[in-house]
Amino acid sequence: MPGHLALVTDSTAYLPPEAVERHRIHVVPLSVAVGDEVFAEGIEISPKDVAEALRSKQRVTTSRPSPETFAAAYRAAAESGARGVVSIHLSAELSGTAEAAQLAAANAPIPVRVVDSRLVGMALGSSVLAAAELADALDGARAGAAGAASDAVPGGTEADLDQVVEAAVRRAAGTSGFFYVDTLEHLRRGGRIGTAQALVGSALAVKPLLHLAGGRIEPLEKVRTASRAIARLEEIAVERAGTLPVDITVHHLVAEQRAEPLAERLRERVPGLNRLYVSEVGAVIGAHVGPGLLAVVVAPVVDLTG
């Protein structure tokens, strides 16, 4: 579409494939290294591959995309006729991905706005979808105004980019992510949680509940058994959802037998449920949380006209 607003995100958004296609979102992959082999997330390595590597005690690490990878994405957007790009990424507290995007944006051939969502998974993905929906609406309005008076649609590309960024930021600000892991060891090894916190959890044999706070992964509660932890995760999600319209995602890593029943219970208990997704996290997040992850993302529906 000539003159459209393009959306770029990274592979940790774990967006539904149909949403990526519908909104023409460009997804830049992070990398996962298993031993000495490096793979592109979502293309060359699966969540199950990472789970097996972790279970067999192989060394698994992750890395951000290079600035040149983002530069290529922005050039491709320009070549497709985009008039501007909004590039939305996982928390800068967890990865240098947004920094790499910002470096590339400085020399892009069209205006690029980079947004640090301070989130990850479909918490990030929900922000991307809000931005994409508004971008589509703005593109449609401008297409409909073609040939009309020059002031039929006020502002220009910069004003439209401002609105799309605002939609992404508003959605991100209201979105919460809560999760359960079988062990804190993988988060400790990856430097995503403090060593002291991980050791205390292991010593007490507790099942930790965590959440996204200030762009970081922080402990929320300690529960004694996995079943109680999952029940508490459900209660927290229901409380956070309240009665207003929300989208909910249940994430897991090789734990579909936990995720599907939880999703069904949330479907019954959340009166304002708009959309419900159940998805396995990809290799990058899987490398840091380990098999058995169960997470719930609660994203209030944003009024894009406000």
For the stretch 132-143, pLDDT in tens is 999 999 998 878
Measured CA to CA, the distance from residue 104 to residue 107 in angstroms comes to: 6
Burial 108-145 (b: 16+ CB within 10 A, else e): bebbbbbbbbbbbbbbbbbbbbbbbbbbbebbeebeee
Instruction: Please tell me the pTM assigned to this model.
Output: 0.91
In this prediction, the residues of the chain whose per-residue pLDDT falls under 70 are 1-2, 145-155, 185-186, 188-205, 305-306
Q: What is the pLDDT of residue 211?
A: 92
Residue 93 phi, psi dihedral angles, 5° rounding: -75, -20
CB 122 within 8 A of CB 91: no
Query: Which residues neighbour 209 within 8 Å (Cβ) at sequence distance 6 or greater?
Result: 178, 179, 180, 219, 220, 221, 222, 223, 229, 232, 233, 236
Q: What is the pLDDT of residue 207?
A: 80
Could you tell me the two tokens for 81? 């006729």
Could you tell me the two tokens for 105? 């944006």
For the stretch 88-134, pLDDT in tens is 999 999 999 999 999 999 999 999 999 999 999 999 999 999 999 99
Q: What is the pLDDT of residue 53?
A: 94
Q: What is the pLDDT of residue 234?
A: 97
DSSP H/E element including 140: helix 122-144
CB 243 within 8 A of CB 215: no
CA distances from 288 to 51, 65, 128, 192, 244 (A): 10, 17, 23, 8, 32
